[in-house]
Amino acid sequence: MAGVIFVILASMLWAIDTLIRYPLVEKGIDPTVIVFFEHAILTVMFLPRLISRLPRIGELKFGDAFGFLVIGAGGSALATVAFTGAFMFLNPSLVILLQKFQPVIAVILAWLILKEPIPKPFLFWGAVCILGAVLISAPDVEKVWMLVRTDPNRLASDAAVQGYGLVGISVLGWGASTVFGKKLSLAGFEPASMSAGRFFVGFVALCFFVPWGQKMIFVDATDYLRIGVMVMLSGALAIWLYYKGLQRLPAKFTSIVEMFFPLCAVVVNWVFLGKQLSDIQLLGGVLLMLGALIIQLKKY
């Protein structure tokens, strides 16, 4: 029972993340700046682990270094910037629900990169996920389709197209991170070392893209504190609770309890941010979560 409580608490903290992240984006703060400060704090937190592993950096193989580049620059930096940026264009609940499409992407990438076979049942549950994603996005899909038919030149500037593009980047980035994280794990890297490398590489990558200058200075100084609180709650504390729960629960059961996160996020965003979803979008969310859950439980 304690394991279930730990995972549920972690899921609640991940859901609360939106209550800080979304208002920051709504203020007009550049998503790259938000994620840069997140990574700066996380890099400092994991600095002792990073320093302890410095003597072994010269032993890294090219494949391992590339793996850290993917999970750090791609999965941690780019994907999180895209996820945060999507809040500017789409309902945050929709953005969070669509992240449950990640297991489908991870399986496909594992097939392409790790040469892992795709079981036939995965095709069915993958199709269920796709149907769920289409239903979630139904109002925007109809709008985009009308643009394709009437004014295709406006597609690139349409908010929905930009939002879904960013969601796609985040899902692809985190899916790739899952696959290359597995490769690093098989190569003998423990979770703490992978986390330290992930955040440090992400931080370095963001240094090249963050808009140095006036955009780094917030009008409201408490926004720096808000980012720090967000990192401590949805980052450090949530991850600690999650792994405490994982120690006490079978992996398959943990996958079920994890579904509390999108459910909680939808409720939190609905109540505190006034971001409702239609009945058809809620149905789509259920189908997407069901498909993702089966894929995770069956380890396709």
For the stretch 197-211, pLDDT in tens is 899 999 999 999 999
Residue 84's pLDDT is 96
Contact (Cβ atoms closer than 8 angstroms) between residue 88 and residue 25: yes
* pLDDT-based confidence at residue 104 (cuts at 50, 70, 90): confident
**What CA–CA distance (Å, rounded) separates 92 from 276?**
10
- pTM (2 decimals)? 0.88
Q: Give the single-character DSSP code of 115.
A: -
For the stretch 141-184, pLDDT in tens is 777 777 667 767 776 667 888 999 999 999 999 888 888 888 88
Q: What are phi and psi of 218, to 5 degrees?
A: -80, 140
Mean pLDDT of all residues belonging to the chain:
86
Contact (Cβ atoms closer than 8 angstroms) between residue 242 and residue 7: yes
For the stretch 23-35, pLDDT in tens is 999 999 999 999 9
**What CA–CA distance (Å, rounded) separates 246 from 6?**
9
Domain locations along the chain: 2-297
Angle, in degrees to the nearest 10, between helices 251-258 and 279-297? 170
* pLDDT-based confidence at residue 251 (cuts at 50, 70, 90): low
**What CA–CA distance (Å, rounded) separates 151 from 163?**
19
**What CA–CA distance (Å, rounded) separates 144 from 104?**
24
Provide the CB-side half-sphere exposure for 215 (13 A, CA): 16
